[in-house]
Amino acid sequence: MTTITTICMGLLGVLLFLLGANVTRHRALRGAGNQAPSDPADPLLIAVRAHGNAAEYIPTMLVLLLVCSMLSDSWLVDALAIAALVVRTTHAIGMLTAKTLAAHGPLRDIGALGTYVVGLAISITAIATL
């Protein structure tokens, strides 16, 4: 495994834990109030969904990157690790800066589409390196 892939994987973990800490921060600010909001403009709901979405994709990407890096030392694995970090960070920023979850913005959409494309590319690479 190269240094680039390792750093990207570590930063993906950092992103996931920071998003989780952000949820905790919003819950603490809320106090004993509604801890399960349903308003798409509620900052707590936005934080929860940003973290939840990251938790849905980052672990799978990490495992696939680990598999790819164990089977190959190709520059492609480094490129995919960088791409995964970029698209997941872009998506998180897009969600956290949205005024409401009911509307999509360019960062959120680019991050979502990028997640699917990069995720499929990492998956195919894992299979192709066998």
Residue 38 lies in a domain: no
Which residues neighbour 111 within 8 Å (Cβ) at sequence distance 6 or greater? 87, 88, 89, 90, 91, 92, 93, 94
Residue 105 in domain: yes
Q: Read off the pLDDT of residues 67-95 as tens digits, 9 standing for 90 and up.
A: 999 999 899 999 999 999 999 999 999 99
- Per-residue model confidence as pLDDT tens digits over 4-44: 999 999 999 999 999 999 999 999 999 888 899 999 999 99
- 85 belongs to a structural domain: yes
Structural domain total, the chain: 1
Domain assignment present for residue 34? The answer is: no
Per the domain annotation, does 33 fall within a domain?
no
Q: In angstroms, rounded to a whole number, what is the distance separating the alpha carbons of residues 4 and 124?
A: 20
pTM attached to this predicted model: 0.95
Which pLDDT score, from 0 to 100, does residue 130 have?
86
Express each pLDDT in 41-68 by its tens digit: 999 999 999 999 999 999 999 999 999 9
As given in the structure block, the two tokens for residue 101 are 């979850």
pLDDT given for residue 16 in this prediction? 98
> Which domain does 110 fall in, by range?
3-27+51-128
| Strand (E) or helix (H) holding 2 | none
